[in-house]
Amino acid sequence: MSDLGIDLDYIMGRYNYWLFCILMMTGLYITVSRGNLIKKIVGLNIFQTAVFMLYISMGKVIGGTAPILTEVPETIYSNPLPHVLILTAIVVGIATTAVALALVVRIRESYGTIEEDEILELEHDMDFGSGAAQGDPVA
């Protein structure tokens, strides 16, 4: 393939990193572009999952097995540290999602919608609507 100027081995040999890039950009784009509060959280989760993939990829040692002690001394192990880090990051991600969903429930109860543009409209009415107290924290 060298005559085309494309190094296929380079591309295919790092496919998990390409997937990381694609997933990360997809997640970030969903978070930024969607107006639905739940979809934003979905985007955030995809974004975080991409990072998990990055860490797992860098812990991989070619020919290495899962890092569980075996009897054979010459076993090659994958690097367990990134796995452990990502376990922590997964827990953090779940906690974040839980808080975010709890907030969305409360927003739905107070505003009656989870669409960002409708919420912004309601907030605009609160600020500049008929006789509304402008910028008043005590509603």
Is 37 a residue that touches other proteins (CB under 8 A)? yes
Nearest-angstrom CA–CA distance, 94 and 28: 17
**Candidate list 39, 67, 77, 107; residue touching other proteins; CB under 8 A:** 107
In the chain, beta strands by DSSP E: none
Is 95 a residue that touches other proteins (CB under 8 A)? yes
Tokens 């009415």 appear where?
125
What DSSP line would sit under 13-37, residue for residue? TTHHHHHHHHHHHHHHHHHHH--BH
Nearest-angstrom CA–CA distance, 25 and 49: 12
Is 94 a residue that touches other proteins (CB under 8 A)? no
Cβ-contact 42, 23 below 8 angstroms = no
Nearer to other proteins among residue 73 and residue 137 (C-beta)? 137
Per-residue contact track with other proteins, 47 to 66, x per CB under 8 A? xx--x--xx--x--------
Q: Which residues bind other proteins (CB under 8 A)?
A: 24, 28, 31, 37, 40, 44, 47-48, 51, 54-55, 58, 82, 85, 88-89, 92, 95-96, 99-100, 103-104, 106-107, 110-111, 119, 123, 126, 133-139
